[in-house]
Structure 1
Amino acid sequence: MKLLYSLGSPYARKVRIVASEKRIEIEMVPVVLAATDSPVTQHNPLGKIPVLILDDGDSLFDSRVIVEYLDHRTPVAHLIPQDHTLKIQVRRWEALADGVCDAAILAIQESRRPEDKQDATVITKQHGKVERGLTALNQELGDSKWCVDDSFSLADISLGCMLGYLALRMPEIDLAAQYPNLARHYAELMKRKAFADTTPV
């Protein structure tokens, strides 16, 4: 299997961490989406990463689809609970963490446009989503070590990938001061080899 990814993508990082935690060997293929010879559109009509190319040539895209495929590929260290109620809780954390990433990316893209073409209302709206999302996640985590059922899961991976992305792209957010529960959680995650090895740059 091959994974088309970029170092800065929080969604690709999620897949890379799941593969590492599950001990699944995947050939990592870094790509530049803007390059004219980018192979991404050959495997994902939406032109987005990550894309997992299977051994038979078929491809899977969207990180949520890929991580579920990987989690069911081997029984080692299930990251998505088998219990339906717990699974929904984990998926809810993932959806909120990914949604914060989506909003952050839109805000950053808008702010990178020429100043006379930027829409301040778009930036403000997306920043509001980021702040509300972080506030909700910080409150829900509380003083728990892990997000769901006192067990390391995809919820923690998704949250950690989102926090790593914000640390890279929105360093003005002071996690320790504003969202101390999330700061503590990320520090704990960074002790894991899979997280340390995939730190975004």
Structure 2
Amino acid sequence: MPGQSKKKLSATEQDELLQVLQLRFQKNSKRHQGIEWKEVEKKLLTKKEKLWSLNQMEATGGEPDVISYDKKTGEYLFVDCSAESPSGRRSVCFDKEGWESRKEHRPANNAIDMASEMGIELLTEEQYRQLQQLGHFDAKTSSWIQTSGSIRKLGGALFADYRYGTVFVYHNGAQSYYGSRGFRGCLRV
């Protein structure tokens, strides 16, 4: 993968990111009750490649924060917690196949490839609904979410948003893109 060796933050970048993450963590304690920052930070410092991915999430407007801890795997789940779909990840098709199927007006990228390049994954429907339990996200935007192979095989892809006090999951052609649709990612650390 091009640029693989560059997927490392300088000491200054690492310190700045950790400060941003810690401040957000402390400001939004309801998202991760029972989880202590010092434990999250300790884990991050042993998995520095994850810091690069979190920095990518931050740089594209995602405002990543911890929303849960998986006792089985011992991993913290960081998710984009920006109020709206991250601004630096909008106007993208669902995947490369959808992007290639467009004969004209192709967007610059697609959600699946962008997420892969960043070292993150699109949220599942379950994760999206879990996030919505912590606040109201995507009230003006929408976000592509993971889509089953059977739906994708037929040319479709799923996206979700929050309207009328409800989380909606919809379908669209994977080749479609809109200025208000991006994607939210998750990262296990």
Same topology, TM > 0.5: no
Query: Is the strand fraction higher in 1 or 2?
Result: 2
- Structure with the bigger percentage of helix: 1
> TM-score, normalized by length of structure 1?
0.29
TM superposition score normalised by structure 2 = 0.31
